Amino acid sequence: MLPYKELANLDKIVHEPARLSILTALSACTLAEFLFLQELTGLTKGNLSSHLSKLEKANLIVIDKHFVRKKIPQTTIRITSEGKAAVDQHWKQLLSIHQSIRHHGANNENRSAPNPLSINQALT
């Protein structure tokens, strides 16, 4: 696909900043606690909670709510293999798009611009 179209069509479930942060953090550890994740990302609890729900619904993470010593509630989160694949692929895609545009751009930077229309031609 053309890089600009690919850019415009990025998966928003993954691309959204809070969720990209969550998924990227989770992809670096086997398990994370809710509060740890909150500290890491700097999100508010409410915000984190709703993003986690969204990610769970998309099968990108698994949420486990349990009690420590049958007393203290604790929510732990794992990334699924699907989630890991999605976030890895997303970063790859971003880098690859950036590369492809950098090359493309370099070819056009020194091109003169006799009129607006010709510039458009140059970049297609």
Partner DNA sequence: AATAACTGGTTTGTGATATAAACTATTAAT
Partner DNA sequence: ATTAATAGTTTATATCACAAACCAGTTATT
Q: What residue ranges bind DNA (CB under 7 A)? A: 12, 16-19, 33-35, 43-54, 63, 65, 70-75
Contacting residue, 15, 53, 89, 96, with a copy of itself by CB under 8 A: 15
Least separation in angstroms between residue 69's CB and DNA is 8
Pick 44 or 107: Cβ nearer DNA: 44
Q: Which tokens sit at 13?
A: 């479930």
Q: Which of residues 45-74 bind a copy of itself (CB under 8 A)?
A: none
Q: Dihedrals φ, ψ of 66, to 5°?
A: -150, -175
Q: Could you write out the three-class secondary structure of the chain?
A: CCHHHHHHCCCHHHHCHHHHHHHHHHCCCCCEEHHHHHHHHCCCHHHHHHHHHHHHHCCCEEEEEEEECCCEEEEEEEECHHHHHHHHHHHHHHHHHHHHHHHHHHHHHCCCCCCHHHHHHHHC
114 binds, among DNA, a copy of itself, none (CB under 5 to 8 A by kind): none
Query: What are the residues binding a copy of itself (CB under 8 A)?
Result: 2, 4-5, 7-10, 12, 15, 17-18, 20-22, 24-25, 27-33, 36, 39-43, 76, 91, 94-95, 98, 101, 104-105, 108-109, 113, 116-117, 119-120, 122-124
